[in-house]
Amino acid sequence: MALGGLEQKANDCPEVELLRMCCRTKIDGDQQARIRHLLQPSMDWHTLVRLANVHGVQTLLYQSVKSIGKEQIPAIVLKDLTAYVQQIAIFNTVLTRDLLKILDFLQTHGIRALPFKGPVLAASVYGSISLRHFCDLDILVSPLDFAKTIEVLVVEGYQLAYEWNLLDQDLELTLRNSKSEYQLIKNSVSIDLHQTLTVERFLSSQFTFDYLWDNREPVLVSGHTFYSFGADDLLMYLCIHGSKDCWRKLKWICDVSECIQQTPGRDWPRFLQQAAQMGCERMVLLGLCLTQQVLGTELPEVVQGKIDAHPGCSRLAQDFAQRLFDQENTLGRSFTPQKFIRHWQMTETRRDRIACILDIRRPIHGFWLKCLPNVNDRDFLILPKPLYFLYFLIRPLRLGLKHLNSANPQES
């Protein structure tokens, strides 16, 4: 779907408007009246539920429509929504329980860890772990502890989500420990272990682990106290995270909106000054502007003044808002020239812009990894170690034969 009239039509349809109205934990009288008006028999519930699933806001939709217009929801829709939300609540409880175990385990090994997103975000921003859908646990550790943390989690029974199985095991270990984040899995629990906040490090270069650790604040989650990002750091991070993925999901905009409302006494002049010092002012203004354009979030005058002084942020927010409900919108899913351009528009310092340019290396790095010989090449043709360099020639030959065999299967 191209930009313009078709997208505007999608954004104006009653299902999208209702979803926007329902995606908040606090709904005033006027908003409730609008929701009741939209809950007409002509409502396309299939489209509404599909959009909620795509954007990860099923729980917010369910809570709002059930409390405001339960009698207007078709019985089968209400039944399916209830079952799905209950499944989310159970799974979130399981992940929260495992997060407590993991943090205790890391503490016994002297590893400082900061959980973020997941149950911590749900509890601190939405007030309940059942109101924010999440599927894994994100934990930030110091780069000095990154390799050690992977080792102790493996001992605890977690498995590496993926391995390259390179012939050069030292190189494999170096590559693993140099990644911004690494995934480990145990049963149904997946951990995204981070040593930097984002894969695109130039977007969050100032947010070092030590900085976030020094500014950490307690969060009460299901009766347990965790330490996570401070309130201002959390809001800045949420704007960085949404910007990183070009604001493809409504739930990321909801996160920012709820975070704003969770701290009504925020010192906004100080916050904006801090965002500028941390090199993320544009991303912060972009995130705040999107909450206003998409959810109608009221912003303080000082924030509105800053947005008005940066018209580029408003234009970029409008671009993302127009794409938000486009079924064909893939912007942000992977590295593309369009994503690079928008990241470039978000960066502020010379250092981060240079790093943004260097990020073009990531697709090249991925191609380079595919060229490295692994154990499958050795199984294809066993060579003595002094001749291992020949596997660089054998690998493309093996992959070519594999492709031919898969393209022309023969009956045995």
- Reported as a single tens digit per residue, the pLDDT across 227-246 is 999 999 999 999 999 999 99
> What is the pLDDT at residue 408?
65
Q: Is residue 169 part of a domain?
A: yes
**Residues 102 and 205 occupy one common structural domain:** yes
**Residues 59 and 142 occupy one common structural domain:** no
The DSSP line for 24-74 is SS---HHHHHHHHHH--TT--HHHHHHHHHHTT-HHHHHHHHHHHHGGGS-
**Residues 44 and 107 occupy one common structural domain:** no
Q: Is residue 288 part of a domain?
A: yes
Of 17, 38, 73, which residue is a domain's last?
73
Domain interval for residue 144: 95-263+274-361
Of 73, 107, 134, which residue is a domain's last?
73
**Residues 37 and 165 occupy one common structural domain:** no
**Residues 116 and 175 occupy one common structural domain:** yes
Residues whose CB is less than 8 angstroms from the CB of residue 311 and which lie 6 or more positions away in sequence, other chains included: none
> What is the pLDDT at residue 4?
39
**Residues 250 and 354 occupy one common structural domain:** yes
> What is the pLDDT at residue 2?
35
> What is the pLDDT at residue 43?
93
Question: In the chain, how many domains are there?
Answer: 3
Counting as low any pLDDT under 50, the low residues of the chain are 1-9, 411-412
**Residues 239 and 108 occupy one common structural domain:** yes
The CATH number that applies at residue 177 is 3.30.460.40
**Residues 338 and 200 occupy one common structural domain:** yes
Q: Where are the alpha helices (DSSP H) in 111-228?
A: 118-121, 146-155, 169-178, 209-214
**Residues 105 and 233 occupy one common structural domain:** yes
Q: Is residue 86 part of a domain?
A: no
**Residues 230 and 281 occupy one common structural domain:** yes
pTM for the full model? 0.91
> What is the pLDDT at residue 410?
52
**Residues 131 and 111 occupy one common structural domain:** yes
**Residues 100 and 245 occupy one common structural domain:** yes
> What is the pLDDT at residue 99?
96
Q: Kindly report, residue by residue over 373-396, the tens digit of the pLDDT.
A: 999 999 999 999 999 999 999 999
